[in-house]
Amino acid sequence: MADAARPAPTGAGTARITPVGGGKQGHNPEPPCLFDIQLDILCYTHTMQPEREYWPEWAQLLQRWGMKELAALLLESAGPLTFFLAQLVYIGQPLFGERASARRFSALANLFENQEESRSFAAFLREEKRS
């Protein structure tokens, strides 16, 4: 193991693992421990939910088809079955080819995969109905 601090690869932030004593020779006044770990965690809120930009468009489409309330009911009550809907979206994406945006399909699949997002979209649909 090297004496200098080395970064450990992570997806959400950075971590630094330093050997006891900071890798320096001499006396360490702190009680000994195996590693001194420092974590820097970043939250990219703006980039974590870009698919919500499509919600108004989807709400208008459901409104035109007269399926807004039915969609909200299904999203709230389907529970784990929405995961299978997400898989159908992934499978069906190539069938629509260039006519549909890959980002829109990905956003729709993410909506179905995440139950919290599904419930939030259902609430959004109901709020749109009241307006």
Task: Reply yes or no on whether the pLDDT at 11 is more than 90.
Answer: no
77 shares its domain with 110 = yes
Angle of helix 102-113 relative to helix 115-130, nearest 10 degrees, comes to: 100
Alpha-carbon gap, residue 15 to 38, rounded angstroms: 6
74 shares its domain with 116 = yes
Domain region containing 68 = 47-130
77 shares its domain with 122 = yes
pLDDT tens digits for range 51-82 = 789 999 999 999 999 999 999 999 999 888 88
Q: Which amino acid type is present at position 74?
A: L
23 shares its domain with 73 = no
53 shares its domain with 96 = yes
As a 3-state breakdown, the chain gives helix, strand, coil percent values, each rounded to 5, of 60, 15, 25
Is 1 among the domain residues? no
pLDDT tens digits for range 42-57 = 444 444 466 789 999 9
Instruction: Give the chain's mean pLDDT.
Output: 74
83 shares its domain with 111 = yes
Looking at per-residue pLDDT, the higher value among 86 and 30 belongs to 86
Could you tell me which of 102, 130, 125, 117 has the C-alpha nearest to residue 52? 117
60 shares its domain with 116 = yes
Looking at per-residue pLDDT, the higher value among 128 and 1 belongs to 128
Q: Which pLDDT score is estimated for 12?
A: 47
69 shares its domain with 102 = yes
35 shares its domain with 58 = no
The DSSP code for 114 is -
Quick one: pLDDT band at residue 102, thresholds 50, 70, 90? confident
Report the number of distinct structural domains present in the chain: 2
106 shares its domain with 61 = yes
